[in-house]
Amino acid sequence: MNTSRIALCLLAASIASTAGAADLPKRKSGLWEIRTQMSGMPAGMPGQGPIQMCIDQNSDNMTQDSSAPGEKPDCPVMQVKPGVGKMTIHSVCRHNGTTATTDAEITGDFNRSYRSDMITRFSPPQDGMKEMKMVQEARWLGPCQAGQKAGDIIMPGMGKYNMQEMMKDPQMRELMKRQQQAR
């Protein structure tokens, strides 16, 4: 599996993990631009910069549920508090002896734009990481462009991939599952 596909898979998992198992409102179908900043990401990693995602309701459902079939993360705490123009999420999940406590706030709407601020703390540290911070800003650009289909992700320097097709690859499913459980 090449590095570009792994980076794409991990980025898609980070997008999906903003709310974990929470029931997020569905994004408006069409072309979305998403900017993600994560602490601990190495500089110069392929695919840095805004990505574009062509989504419909089916591909949005798939992006939000990146766990493998039959896999349920061990998350004894999952609190979702919707508000006007804002949603807060608090979760506690366990995986491989590490407890990940995540607090996220999502502001905006899922028709034009939204912002997600998330912090995850690991106890004990996971792969030497005590905490991870992630900020995502997304905006709707309009209908998907000619030649694009639902699930297409366009990343700077990496080209276009289709998440729905990649998710059929058993190696990608396993990588996404591990990334999601780590959050």
**pLDDT tens, position by position, 1-31:** 444 444 444 455 454 444 444 566 788 999 9
Phi-psi region of 168 (alpha: psi -120 to 50; beta: other; left: phi over 0): alpha
Q: What is the sign, positive or negative, of the torsion defined by CA atoms of 168, 171, 175, 178?
A: positive
| Residue range 122-151, pLDDT digits in tens | 999 887 888 888 898 999 999 999 999 998
pLDDT band (50, 70, 90) for residue 48 = low
- pTM of the predicted structure, to 2 decimals: 0.73
CA-atom Rg of the chain in angstroms: 16
CB neighbours of residue 59 within 10 Å: 22
With a cut of 60, say whether residue 166 has pLDDT above it. Answer: yes
pLDDT band (50, 70, 90) for residue 69 = very low
Structure tokens at 124: 């004990």
